[in-house]
């Protein structure tokens, strides 16, 4: 950078200042161009894309939640079906057991009659 000596003439000072001013104007112009690009284009664009990413991530999280929820639902439904099948098996077993009990009872009654019938008959004959 040019710095005039202390004995420089006023005209030298002025010319040196104008040169500095020209540099300053060029720097200002470059700074404005960058500021303009930053403030009007790039920064708002980055903000918008950040918001877009957030939106997509939110949507993705919701989709994942829903998928997990659906998976859990399927699991529960499978459990439910198995339980229902088990209940059906048990119900069938119970029904079978009840049938057997009924049959047993019938046999017991029939046996009872067989046992006491000759006695009742002999008494009647008497």
Partner 1 sequence: MAVSDIAVIIPCYNHGRTIRETLESVRAQTRQPAEIVIVDDGSTHLQTRQVLRALGAAAYRVVHTANRGVAAARNHGVRLTSAPYIVLLDADDVLEPTYLEKTARRLDEKPAVGFVSTALQAFGAASYVWTPPPCTLLNALARGTVHPATMFRRVMWEAVGGVDETFRTCEDLDFWIAAMEAGFEGEVLEEALFRYRVREESKHHNHVSRGTYRQVKLAVLAKHQKTIEALGLDLLRLKEEFIVEQRTHLAYLETQMREHERERQQLEGEIAVAAQRLRERGRDILDWGDLRRWTPLSPVWGIDRGKIIDRYYIEAFLTEHRADIRGRVLDVKDSFYGVTYGSDAVTRVDVLDIDPSNSEATVVADLTKADEVPTGTFDCFLLLQTLHIIYDVRGALFHAHRILKPGGVLLCTLPAVSRVNCEGAALEGGDYWRFTEASVRELFSELFPLEDFEVHAFGNVMTDAGFLYGLSTQDLPPEALEFNDPWFPLVFCVRAVKAPAPAAAKT
Question: For binding to partner 1 (CB under 8 A), which residues are involved?
Answer: 1, 3-4, 6, 8, 10-11, 13-14, 16-18, 20-40, 42-43, 45-46, 49-50, 52-53, 56-57, 59-60, 63-64, 67
Q: Name which of 21 and 98 has its Cβ closer to partner 1.
A: 21
Q: Tell me the Ramachandran region of residue 55: left when phi exceeds 0, alpha when psi lies from -120 to 50, beta otherwise.
A: alpha
Q: Tell me the closest approach of the beta carbon of residue 7 to partner 1, in angstroms.
A: 10
Q: Name which of 52 and 82 has its Cβ closer to partner 1.
A: 52
Nearest to 18 by CA among 34, 4, 6, 7: 4
Q: Name which of 18 and 94 has its Cβ closer to partner 1.
A: 18
Q: Decide: residue 50, CB within 10 A, 0-12 exposed, 13-18 middle, 19+ buried.
A: exposed
């Amino acid at each position: 950078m040019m710095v005039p000596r202390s004995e420089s003439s006023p005209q030298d000072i002025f010319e040196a200042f104008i040169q500095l001013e020209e540099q300053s104007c060029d720097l200002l112009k470059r700074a404005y161009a960058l500021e303009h690009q930053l403030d009007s284009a790039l920064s708002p664009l980055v903000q918008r894309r950040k918001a877009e990413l957030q939106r997509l991530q939110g949507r993705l999280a919701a989709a994942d939640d829903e998928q997990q929820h659906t998976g859990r639902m399927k699991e529960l439904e499978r459990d439910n079906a198995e339980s229902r099948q088990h209940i059906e098996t048990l119900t069938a077993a119970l029904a079978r057991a009840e049938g057997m009990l009924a049959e047993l009872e019938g046999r017991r009654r029939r046996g009872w009659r067989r046992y006491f019938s000759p006695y009742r008959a002999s008494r009647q004959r008497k």
